[in-house]
Amino acid sequence: MLLGDVINGKENSHLVLIHDDVNRNGKPLLCCFVKSLLERADYVHVVLWDVPPQQFVDSFDPHLKERLTDQPFSYFFAFRCDSCDILVGDVVKVAVVFNSLSRLLLWKSSAMVCTLLNQLYSNSSHSQEGYQVVQVVALVHSDLHDDQTLNTINFLASSLLWITLDKEEKDQSVNWCKVLHKRKTGKVIKKFESFAINDKHVLTEYEEKDWNGSSSKAVSESVNEVDPTKNLTFSLKLTDNERQARSKLKLPYMHHEEERSEVTVNPVGEGKLLKNHNFVIVHRCKRVKTFYDLKTADTLK
């Protein structure tokens, strides 16, 4: 499903924004992204404002949190591969995570924040710097900002996730998320998906719906083939009489072939006028002349 593909990197996304509010917690989904990034990237740099750094880092497995680094806000801009244990010529894959971006939006203008985000994921091709930013993920508390600010930062994102509620869902452990994903080809995919995340930050997907309401289950079900011509108000098939009439129909190119054959079979020395609309074909002495004026053809001796 789309949400899982965005998290595990199957759907490429340079900037992911997770929107939550006071009633819908987006931190579990953010941690799910961090775990996936630790498996795909060499280092994950997190900027934490909403949670104590040690508490956040300790929630991951020991073999993963060794590559999880909590740095002050100004430190990761000066990150260089000199401090990393890598071979010369290698490029370090780095991911940047904000928990949350709302603190920065309340401190700085939305224009400055957009400039910062653009500089981060635009460095993905700067291999001469010794690192590559594979993804930027940020949590945004939507109820703290106005629509103009949210629309501004959403414009930069390639994947937008909104934690929502479904009134028909009775299981409290199941959450719903609206997903909007923009591919590099320009195609925009919109899905509405139910999921659950355990204490190990493992995602379980249940159901996926389009924003217009059609749904698909996570477990594959047999789908009956539908005849697209079943409910048409007209018939696409020909009856025997219609098929016979079609076979007798002479197309324009068939008339043209008949006229050419009729000119060819005339004996040498005999002249014959073939009138076809506004031109006349005169055959005489193995030569064919075409006159586009009937009066001119009549004066021919």
Work out the pLDDT band at 76, boundaries 50, 70, 90: very low
The CATH number of the domain holding residue 147 is 3.40.50.300
Q: Does 47 reside within a domain?
A: yes
Q: pLDDT at position 120, please?
A: 85
Burial pattern 224-247, b for ≥16 Cβ within 10 A else e, equals eeeeeeeeeeeeeeeeeeeeeeee
In a domain, 296, yes or no: no
Question: 39 in helix, strand or coil?
Answer: helix
- The pLDDT of residue 80 is 46
What is the mean predicted confidence (pLDDT) over 95-108?
91
Q: Which domain holds residue 128?
A: 2-74+91-210
**% of the chain residues with pLDDT over 90:** 39
Assigned token pair, 52:
């104590």
Handedness of CA 237, 238, 240, 243 (dihedral sign): negative
* CA-atom Rg of the chain in angstroms: 35
Residue among 120, 132, 189 nearest 158 (CA): 189
In a domain, residue 54? The reply is yes
* 205 has pLDDT over 70: yes
- Residue 216 included in any domain: no
> If you average pLDDT over each of 12-16, 107-111, 225-229, which comes out highest?
12-16
Is residue 202 one of the residues assigned to a domain? yes
Amino acid at 74: S
Condensed to tens digits (0 to 9), the pLDDT of residues 107-139 reads 889 999 999 898 888 765 555 567 788 999 999
- Count of domains observed in the chain: 1
> Is 157 inside a domain boundary?
yes
| Structure confidence at residue 256 as a pLDDT band (50, 70, 90) | low
pLDDT at 119: 86
**pLDDT for res 283:** 47
- Whether pLDDT at 222 is above 60: no
Residue 250 domain-assigned? Answer: no
Residue 244 lies in a domain: no
